Amino acid sequence: MKRKLIEVALPLEAINRESVREKSIRHGHPATLHVWWARRPLAAARAVLFAQLVDDPSSHPDAFPTEDAQRVERERLHKIIEHLVMWENVGNERLLSEARAEIMKSCEGAPPAILDPFAGGGTIPLEAQRLGLEARASDLNPVAVLINKALIEIPPNFRDRPPVFPDLEESEIRTWKGAEGLAADVKAYGKWMRDEAEKRIGHLYPKATLPGGAEAPVIAWIWARTVICPNPACGIEMPLVRSWWLSKKKGREAYIVPNVVADHSHPSGQRVRFDLGRGAAGIPTPDSDGTVSGRKGAVCVSCDSLAPVSHLREEFKAGRGGTALMAVVAEGIRQRVYVAADELHNQAARVARPVDAVDGSIADNPRWFSPPAYGLTKFSELFTNRQLTALNTFSGLVNEARERVLDDAVTAGASRGKRLESGGREAAAYADAVATFLGLAMSGPLARNCTIASWDSGPTGARASTGGSARTESVRTAFSRQALPMTWDFAEANLLGASGASYYSAFKWFIPAVERLNGSVPGIARQQDAVQAATQGCVISTDPPYYDNIGYSDLSDFFYVWLRRSLRSIHPQLLSTMLVPKAEELVANPYRHAGKEGAKNFFEEGFRKVFANARRTARPDFPITVWYAFKQADTAEEGTASSGWETLLDGMIRSGWAITATWPNRSELSNRMIASGTNALASSIVLALRPRPDDAPTTDRRGLISALQAELPDALRKLQQGAIAPVDLPQAAIGPGMGVYSRYAKVLEPDGSQMTVRSALARINEILDQVLSEQEGDFDPTTRFAIAWYRQHGYSTGTFGDADNLARARNTSVERMDRDEILMSRAGKVTLIKPADTQAEYDVLADGHTSTWEVLHHAIRILETEGVPAAGAFLATAKSRPDGAVDPDLVKELAFLLFSVAEKKGWTKDAISFNTVAQSWVDVVDASKAAPRPHEQGEFDFSEVDD
């Protein structure tokens, strides 16, 4: 069996760095085609697929007979991966050809088809196609299938064709490559749709009158939901507002000021008038910023009475909730202009509700959906009447545009041919293809053109300190998280405008993504559940649902009801159901499967079926890869594990798979850890698996533990020496640990029962702790003392007597460590010195007793205050000590050990520092090699003085 690169080594640092960077890339990114939840980074998927198919050099001892030869070849392959994962190279045909050649060589000229049975947002199939592989995507969810059709199935069918929009081809002297002609048509017919919509419904979007009398296009209208005050003596129509802020930009502050005024046309005799405040004086304070406060309810702006949440729910369920226009946001010269609401804009919004509004009920699941608790049970109720009218108009125009594309294609000389769903590739099919993209393009503005979308007034808190979001003073998407919340004040965007929430703006992001879809190999996207899809005999790479984290089908209904309206005639089979199918969706949803236990059983059984089917048709010459994103977090008598991990691993191992490697992929920033025990740093893990031989042996608990003790220490040390961050080590350790467990047909407990995956995970974690503890013997006496003291006290204070006993046992003394500034010993109390409190003037060459502990703490301070180059220069100086007291590998090893201690103790700030320095250590070491040697710098300085 030839081992593949993914089963031996990966350039994780480069993969994770580009995965993080990709989060900030929008222009041309496939994610802009349509919203999907928890997408894998393109960079990581591309790297994993390449490493899944390309042989590791150790598989070819004839060509690479020595470890050095294998290392050199492995580094060459890693260099290809490092270039492949860069966003700038996503269309680099020379590089892609080089990667494809390596795949062909390892696959003897016949690479396998790649199947993702949980295709979702399409990252894995798209990257398989980019690498020249036959990509197959399947998903039960029709929205996911539609996305995958747009990514991998439609573009190859119409590759290298010129556009058919009248005079467009003649207007540009160029060669139309890949999907460029298709993208040009989508853009042209999309503009026709926008212009046509302007003619039909432009009167619904009047301009705003600015101070001074000039008119300007409206960006958004800011509304508040309202209920009648429960105080009988008041009875005012009270606004429900999360925040009065409109703009928090310094020097341009703007906010809404509610004033209660007499109005005898209202039953209460008074109403709320919304005025505007500007500048820093009188701005809302945390106590006065809005009327709605968390779960308590809302406060009346007139009488200060509290309307509890129960009252708000009763009012909305009874149909007594209302809305009030608070302000209008207009487009000024390079800035937003805020004007007070007037009768013109109130009247423009009073549109009759369309009789054919979209149908469909919102899932009654409070974990993901809050609106039903307030009586908003239909998707149509998440939109204003004006929004429904506009979205209906655009949906109808998709089909009208399709007819125009068909006529223009026939006029250009194409035969009519079969429809797209019937396999056609002529005019009718091309018209369906353009319309498919036009329908998908509507989903972008859809998420910002509903009453769940709110106004982003600008950065606060952490966002303010880092410069804030790029999208401020704009309409927020409804899907800021993987749920649909209840919003009180909301922003109604001008769909016909030019702002970020408009149809026109959506196309600015959408079209570049379509242009990059240059699949030269045909792809297939099918609506099929994963159990059936896994029988195809392809090599699998997949990102399955994360137990109960995301309700994909329920969430995608929001888009499906509109996609079905605009594209049902084009994809009649795919969009045949009223809502997204849910009964067979492989998510542990207690609301759908009779509680938590029923959901768990459904999920486990489904996973076992998927991997059992995949095992029966697996190709033994290739591993499969599976992504997952669950951190081990559950602690019970048998040890630490996780329901998500346990279910995934159990389903795979019981189905006959053996785990050969696990690798952490991080697509979030390293300062994102919010608390000990959360899955905040390690985004996901990719596992490599192969079929377990049918004649695999059986062992008992003692045999398993012996095998783990024999193999795990070396494996963990290699992980530490590589690019694994400390926060990822427990996850990465699952690979070699479960690799041992899964090689056995059975592992028997002392009572004869079969050892569970949970129990095996607990044993792996125990040995991981043992290995980290045993590493203490590698360190000098001072460091061993400091580790033991840190484990007991952290950076808090302990007694001198305890410290003295601990120091004597490790052949050192408190007095010496006080002089060396490892700790402070004063008045019978002893405290370790934090990295931030170490002396900036420290001279590592002049220190007569430097320790690994001291070098690590100074490195942390320098890294956090001055960055990698300065930390590298410090390490270069430390390594030049004549006594050779500083070993960079031991410094990194210490960071791993201290991270493990800090995480278990819940010392989050410490854990972040230790994780960051370990994660950056490769860069620090590289910087140290580039730094001038101390004696060279000294000679340079001396010569200047001499001159």
For 907-911, what is the mean pLDDT?
91
Rounded to whole angstroms, the Cα distance separating 779 from 776 reads: 6
Rounded to an integer, the average pLDDT of 91-97 is: 93
Please compute, for residue 912, the number of CA atoms within 13 A of its CA located in the half-sphere on the CB side: 13
35: confidence class by pLDDT, cuts 50, 70, 90: confident
The token duo for 524 is: 């297939």
Indicate whether 930 pLDDT > 90: no
Element (H, E) at 665: strand 657-665
pLDDT value of position 281? 66
Q: Please report the pLDDT score of residue 419 as a whole number.
A: 96
CA distance linking residue 852 with residue 847, whole number of Å: 12
- At position 658, the amino acid (one-letter code) is A
Distance, CA of 806 to CA of 582 (rounded, Å): 61
Distance CA 419, CA 42 (A): 31
The three-state (H, E, C) secondary structure of 559-584, written as one string: HHHHHHHHHCCCCCCCCCCCCCCCCC
Q: Could you say which DSSP state residue 796 is in?
A: S
Question: Who has greater pLDDT, 143 or 882?
Answer: 143
Q: Quick check: 942 pLDDT over 70? A: no
C-alpha span between 552 and 554 (Å, rounded) = 6
Reduce the DSSP state of residue 715 to 3 states and report it.
helix
Strand partners, 832: 823
Where residue 223 falls among pLDDT bands split at 50, 70, 90? very high
What pLDDT digit, counting tens, does each position of 663-718 carry?
888 765 443 333 233 333 446 788 999 999 989 999 999 999 999 999 888 887 77
CB contact at 8 A, 762 and 770: no
Share of the chain above pLDDT 90, in %: 54
Contact 746, 698 (CB under 8 A): yes
- The residue type found at 374 is Y
Q: Over 50: is that where the pLDDT of 541 sits?
A: yes
**What per-residue confidence (pLDDT) applies to 180?**
94
pLDDT band at 859 (very low <50, low <70, confident <90, very high): very high
Range from 19-33, 267-281, 715-729 carrying the lowest mean pLDDT: 715-729
d(CA 475, CA 454): 6
Chain Cα centroid distance, residue 781 = 43
Q: Is the pLDDT of residue 368 over 90?
A: no
Q: pLDDT digit string (tens) for 469-510? A: 445 789 998 887 788 889 999 999 999 998 878 888 888 889
pLDDT given at position 713: 86
Per-residue HEC secondary structure of 49-66 comes to HHHHHCECHHHCCCCCCC
Burial pattern 23-38, b for ≥16 Cβ within 10 A else e, equals eebeebbbbbbbbbbb
Neighbours of 295 (CB within 10 A): 7
d(CA 282, CA 497): 32
Q: Highest-confidence range of 279-283, 322-326, 468-472, by mean pLDDT?
A: 322-326
Distance between CA 186 and CA 503 in Å, rounded? 13
* Structural element, H or E, at residue 226: strand 218-228
Selected residue with higher pLDDT from 294 and 786: 786
Average pLDDT along the chain: 86
Angle among Cα 922, 928, 932 to the nearest 5 degrees reads: 160
Token readout for 385 is 């009447």
278: confidence class by pLDDT, cuts 50, 70, 90:
confident
**Amino acid 681: pLDDT:** 41
pLDDT tier at 607 (50, 70, 90 boundaries)? confident
517 sits in which H/E element: none
DSSP string computed for 901-939: HHHHHT-HHHHHHHHHHHHTHHHHHHHHHHSPPHHHHHH
Asked if 91 contacts 518 with a C-beta cutoff of 8 angstroms, the reply is yes
pLDDT digits 0-9 by tens, 746-770: 999 999 999 988 888 888 888 877 8
The predicted structure's pLDDT at residue 723: 60
In this prediction, residue 390 carries a pLDDT of 96
Min mean pLDDT across 144-153, 272-281, 439-448, 558-567 is at 272-281
Backbone angles phi, psi at 699, to 5 degrees: -140, 175
The whole-number average pLDDT for the span 153-168 is 94
Q: Give the neighbor-by-neighbor strand order of the sheet with 306-308.
A: 292-293, 297-299, 306-308
d(CA 237, CA 242): 16
pLDDT at 83: 96
Dihedral sign (CA 10, 12, 18, 23): positive
Higher pLDDT, 224 or 665: 224
The answer to whether the beta carbons of residues 50 and 99 sit under 8 Å apart is: yes
Average pLDDT over residues 327-349: 92
CA atoms within 13 A on the CB side of 578: 7
Report pTM: 0.83
Q: SS3 for 422?
A: helix
**Residue 667, pLDDT score:** 64
Residues facing 820 on adjacent strands: none
What confidence tens digit (pLDDT) does each residue in 625-651 have? Answer: 998 865 444 434 444 445 566 777 888
Please give the share of the chain, as a percent, with pLDDT higher than 70.
91
- Asked if residue 801 has pLDDT above 80, the reply is yes
**Containing H/E element for 302?**
none
| pLDDT of 343 above 60 | yes
End-to-end CA distance of the chain: 67
308: β partners: 297
The rounded distance, in Å, linking the Cα atoms of 505 and 496 is 10
Residue 871, helix vs strand vs coil: helix
863 pLDDT more than 90: yes
Residue 811 pLDDT class (50, 70, 90 cuts): confident
**What is the three-class DSSP state of 474?**
strand
More confident residue, 871 or 718: 871
Q: Which of the 8 DSSP states describes residue 346?
A: H
- Alpha carbons 505 and 525: distance in angstroms, whole number: 28
What three-state secondary structure class fits 542?
A: strand
Q: In what order do the strands lie in the sheet with 523-527?
A: 523-527, 135-139, 114-116, 539-542, 624-628, 684-691, 657-665
- For the ranges 83-87, 493-497, 743-747, 929-933, the lowest mean pLDDT is seen at 929-933
- Higher local confidence (pLDDT), 81 or 27: 81
